[in-house]
């Protein structure tokens, strides 16, 4: 007797049950139309890194597999919209005479007027030289495989677009014009991805 598999959810996205090595991300920053798909990817990647990871532009460049200028542009974009602050600490005995930077990444920003305002409960996770301010996930979140975030065959723009698509409700009707409306990038950039 043949087994019949019945599709119970009417969507076009194949979702995998996550049991390990994944990151739970707020849909707030993923849904932003003020930050680019690249910047969304960088923020998502930062939120998914281990707590002992040493945050630096060189480290982020290596894990995102793009140039240092692209990383700096993404960091500047996140700073502009309130998703990142970088504090420069002057040399001391504890830092062995080196300048140290502390990165504070935020999953939600009051400054970003493209996402709905909400009373958000933030949870703080401290890494080696960073603080990750994550929203408490009781609704409006997306579960993403860390393997996807670290997959080097997709560039940050492609990953950011994929994050946006995966965060959409199952009832969303896909079209290029619809995707253009939810992205900072224009129609030609979306077509090029």
Query: Domain residues of the chain, as ranges?
Result: 22-192
Where does the pLDDT of residue 75 fall: very low under 50, low under 70, confident under 90, or very high at 90 and above? very high
Does the pLDDT value for residue 139 go beyond 90? no
The mean of the pLDDT values for the chain is 85
Does the pLDDT value for residue 9 go beyond 70? no
> CB-based contacts of 126: which residues, under 8 Å, 6+ apart?
51, 132
Q: Model confidence over 155-187: pLDDT tens digits?
A: 999 999 999 988 988 888 888 888 888 889 888
Which one of 10-14, 50-54, 69-73 scores highest in mean pLDDT? 69-73
- Which residues are paired to 52 by β-bridges? none
- Please name the helix (run of DSSP H) or strand (run of DSSP E) that holds residue 178, with its range, or none: helix 176-181
Q: What is residue 103's three-state secondary structure?
A: strand
In terms of pTM, does the model score above 0.85?
Answer: no
- Which residues are paired to 135 by β-bridges? 122
């Amino acid at each position: 007797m043949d087994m019949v598999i019945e599709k119970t959810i009417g969507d076009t996205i194949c979702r995998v049950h996550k049991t390990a090595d994944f990151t739970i991300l707020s849909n707030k920053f993923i849904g932003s139309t003020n930050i680019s798909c690249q910047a969304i990817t960088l923020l998502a990647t930062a939120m998914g890194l281990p707590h002992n990871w040493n945050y630096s532009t060189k480290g982020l460049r290596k894990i995102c597999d793009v140039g240092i200028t692209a990383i700096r542009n993404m960091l500047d974009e996140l700073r502009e919209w309130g998703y990142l602050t970088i504090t420069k600490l002057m040399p001391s005995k504890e830092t062995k005479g080196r300048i140290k930077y502390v990165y504070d990444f935020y999953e939600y920003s009051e400054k970003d007027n493209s996402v709905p305002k909400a009373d958000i409960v933030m949870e703080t996770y401290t890494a080696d030289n960073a603080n990750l301010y994550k929203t408490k996930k009781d609704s409006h979140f997306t579960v993403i495989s860390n393997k996807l975030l670290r997959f080097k065959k997709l560039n940050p723009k492609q990953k950011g677009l994929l994050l946006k698509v995966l965060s959409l409700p199952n009832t969303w009707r896909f079209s290029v014009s619809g995707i253009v409306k939810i992205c900072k990038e224009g129609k030609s950039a979306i077509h090029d991805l």
